[in-house]
A and B are shown apart, each in its own frame.
Chain A
Amino acid sequence: MSSIAERMAAAGTGNAIELRGVSRMFGALRALTDITLSVRPGERRAVLGSNGAGKTTLLNCVTGDFPPTSGTVRFFGEDVTLLPPHERIRRGLRRTYQISLLFPRLTVRDNVYLACRGVSRSRFSLIRARASDPIMQSVADLISLVHLEDVTDRLVGELAHGQQRQLEIALALAGAPRFILFDEPAAGLSPNERRDLVAILTALPAHIGYIIIEHDMDVALRVVESVTMMHNGRIFKEGSPQEIEADPEVQQLYLGGGHG
C-alpha cells in the first residue's frame, strides 16, 4: 500500500467525502445522529460498529439511496445532498451492497457491461456495442479481475453466493471510480475468496479511496489506515487501526461484544 501522502497528491486537495451534521430518521427511529465525518481523497477507512449502529445507513446517505433527513453531504467539495444517486455515481462515487443487488436474469457479462455503460455516454443508444468497442475490453478486464471468466455467459441468478459477491465488487469498480463504499464485501466468502478480496482492495490504484464496512477484523484492519467506530447512530471514536484495537472502550463495546 502506498503512503497516504502519495495518494493525497494523486487525488488532489480537499476532502473526498465530507458529512456535516448528518441525521437520518426512519419514522420515529433515529438511525443517524449528527454525524460529522471527513475522508481525504485516496484515504482508506473502515467503519466499524455492532449491528444497528447505523453503518449502512451512513453509506446510504452518502450515495443518496436514502438521503439524510438533515445535514449536508459533500463529494470532492461539491454539495451533493440533493442529487439523485445516479448523479453522484457519474461524479465518481461507487458502492457495493451488503446483500447482493445484481441483475439475476442477465449474464455476468451483461451485468458488468451495464455498469461500464452506466458511467459512460450513450446509455440510451439503440445501437449494439461491437466486439471492438473499447468498453468490451473494460468488461473483460473487470471480469478477470474478480476471477469470473469461467461463468461470463451464465445468468447471474444461477451463480454461487461467493461469485455474486465478487460480481458486486466488479460492478463497483467499473468506469473511473474516485471513491468507493464497500458494504461488508467479505460477508459469506470462503477464506480463499477473502484473500482474493484483500488482494483486490490493496491493489486498487492509489488515488481511489474507500470506506469499508466489515465485521471481519482480519480483512478490515489489513486494508485501511484509519477507523471510525459507530454506536447507536453516532461516531464515538476515530483513529488508526492500532489505536482502535488497543482502546479499552472499543474492546468492551465491540470487539468483546461477540461480534469480532
Chain B
Amino acid sequence: MALAETTRETPLGVGEAQRGGEFGRWVSRHALILLLGVFMMIFPAIANDFFLRQIAGWTMILGMIALSLMFLGGYGGMVSLAQMTVAGVAGYMIAVLGVSSLPKVSFFWPWWVAAPLAIVIAVAFGTLAGALSARTEGIYTIMITLALATSFFYLALQNWPIFNGFNGFTTIPAPHFFGVKWGDPVPLYYMILFFAALSYVVVLYVSRSPFGLALQGVRDNPRRMEAIGYNVTAHRIAAYAFAAVIAAIGGILLVWQNNQISPFSVDVAVVINLLVIAVVGGLGHPIGPFIGAFIYVMLRTFALDALVAVGLDGRRFQTLIGLGFLVIVLFSPDGVVGLWRRWVTRVGATNGRSGR
C-alpha cells in the first residue's frame, strides 16, 4: 500500500509512531479515531435516550449527509447544495413506498423493498443533479444545485398526490427484523453508528483509490486531467452518484429516527445549514462533517438554554450559530480539521526541536 502511506490522511493521528510492527504503527497513527470508536461503542451504557437520539444519532445522520457534500466539495471541488435534497428524496420515498399514517398515499411495501428502492431513486436524482452541474464550476455549480434543492422543496410543498404537500408524512416506523425493534433508542443508535462509521471508512479508503485520486486531480486541474486521458465530466457525474449513496442512506436513517418527513426537512434553511456544517467541520478530511454536525447539534440543542441562562432572548440561538460559523471561517477557512492540522504540525515541530 505504497500509495496509502504517502498520505496525510490522519488529522486525528498522533504523528508518526516510533517502534513496533506494522499493526502498532497503524494503531498509533489512528489512536484518536480508534478511541472515539470505542467511546461510541460503549456510549449507550452511559447515556440516556435523549443523548442517544437527539445528540449522537442526529450528529451522525447530519454528519453522513454532510460527508456526502464534503466528498464532492473537498475531493472534487464541486460544492453541491443538492445533497440534503438527495437525502430528502430517499426519506420521502421511504414514506411513499413504505408505511406511514396515510394509507391512501403510501404503498405500504415492506422496508426491504422500500429502502433499496428509495436509495436507487435518490441516487438517480443525485446523479441527475451531477449531470446537470458537472460542466459548470464554482459559483455556477452552487447556483444550479441550489435551484434543484429549491425546486424539490416547492414540489414537495405543493404536490399532494405523492408528497402529501405541506403536511408530509408522519408515523413512519423504523423496521423490525432479526427480532430487533430498530426504532428503539439503543438499536437505532447502533444502526446509525454502523452506517456512519461505514461511510466514514469507505470515503477515507476511496479517497486513495484510482477513482478518488482522479477526483482530486479533477479538482486541482480539470484541463490537465483531460490531457492525461480522463473524461472529466464522466468522473464528476460518477462522484455525484457515489456521494448520493451516502446521502440517501443518511436520509432514510433521518426518517427512521424522526418517524416523519415534511417539506421543511428539505427547505433552503436546512440546505444552507448542511453547507455550514461541512464548512465549519472542514472539507479537508471526512471526519470534518461529523465534527461540524456535532458543533451544530450542540448549539442547536443547548444554545437556547445558554442564552436564557445569561439573561438573553433564547430565540437568538440562530444568531449564536451564525456567529460561531463566522468565527471559525474567519480564523480557519478549512474548518476545525484545518485548525487541528495546524496545531498538530506546530506541536510536532516543537517536539522535534526539543528532542534534539
- Contact of A86 with B210 at beta-carbon distance under 8 Å, contacts A104-B220, A131-B2 already known: no
Residues of A within 8 A of B206 (CB): 126
Q: How far is the CA of A68 from the CA of B228 in the complex (A)?
A: 20
Q: How far is the CA of A127 from the CA of B205 in the complex (A)?
A: 8
Residues of A within 8 A of B2 (CB): 109, 131, 136
Asked if A174 is at the interface (CB within 8 A of a chain B CB), the reply is: yes
Chain B minimum-CB-distance residue to A108: B6
Chain B minimum-CB-distance residue to A168: B224
For B223, give its contact among A65, A124, A125, A127 (CB under 8 Å): A65
| A102 B209 Cβ-Cβ under 8 A | no
Nearest CB of A to B68, in Å: 16
Residues of B within 8 A of A129 (CB): 3, 210
| A125 B1 Cβ-Cβ under 8 A | no
Asked if A233 is at the interface (CB within 8 A of a chain B CB), the reply is: no
Asked if B38 is at the interface (CB within 8 A of a chain A CB), the reply is: no
**For chain B, which range describes its interface: under 10, 10 to 19, 20 to 34, or 35 or more residues?**
20 to 34
**For chain A, which range describes its interface: under 10, 10 to 19, 20 to 34, or 35 or more residues?**
35 or more
Q: Mark A144-188, 1 if CB is under 8 A from B, else 0.
A: 000000001100000000000000000100110000000000000
Asked if B339 is at the interface (CB within 8 A of a chain A CB), the reply is: no
Q: How far is the CA of A115 from the CA of B211 in the complex (A)?
A: 13
Binding stretch for chain B, among A30-38, A42-50, A89-97, A242-250: A89-97
| B211 A124 Cβ-Cβ under 8 A | yes
| A114 B217 Cβ-Cβ under 8 A | yes
| B205 A103 Cβ-Cβ under 8 A | no
The SS class assigned to the A binding surface is: loop
| A128 B225 Cβ-Cβ under 8 A | no
| A89 B227 Cβ-Cβ under 8 A | yes
| A89 B210 Cβ-Cβ under 8 A | no
Nearest CB of A to B129, in Å: 19
Nearest CB of B to A227, in Å: 25
Asked if B43 is at the interface (CB within 8 A of a chain A CB), the reply is: no
Nearest CB of A to B240, in Å: 13
- Contact of A125 with B209 at beta-carbon distance under 8 Å, contacts A104-B220, A114-B214 already known: yes
Nearest CB of B to A172, in Å: 8
Q: How far is the CA of A114 from the CA of B216 in the complex (A)?
A: 10
Q: How far is the CA of A130 from the CA of B5 in the complex (A)?
A: 11
Asked if B159 is at the interface (CB within 8 A of a chain A CB), the reply is: no
| A105 B1 Cβ-Cβ under 8 A | no
- Chain B residues near A (Cβ < 8 Å): 1-4, 6, 205-206, 208-214, 216-217, 219-221, 223-232, 235, 238
What 8 A-B pairs have minimum CB-CB distances, sorted nearest first?
A: A118-B229, A118-B228, A103-B220, A85-B226, A89-B229, A101-B224, A131-B2, A119-B229
- Chain A residues near B (Cβ < 8 Å): 63-65, 84-86, 89-90, 94-95, 97, 101-107, 109-110, 113-115, 117-119, 122-131, 136, 152-153, 171, 174-175
A-B contact pairs, 18 of them (CB 8 A): A84-B231, A86-B225, A95-B227, A97-B227, A109-B3, A114-B225, A114-B228, A118-B229, A123-B210, A123-B211, A123-B214, A123-B230, A124-B235, A125-B210, A126-B205, A127-B209, A128-B1, A128-B3
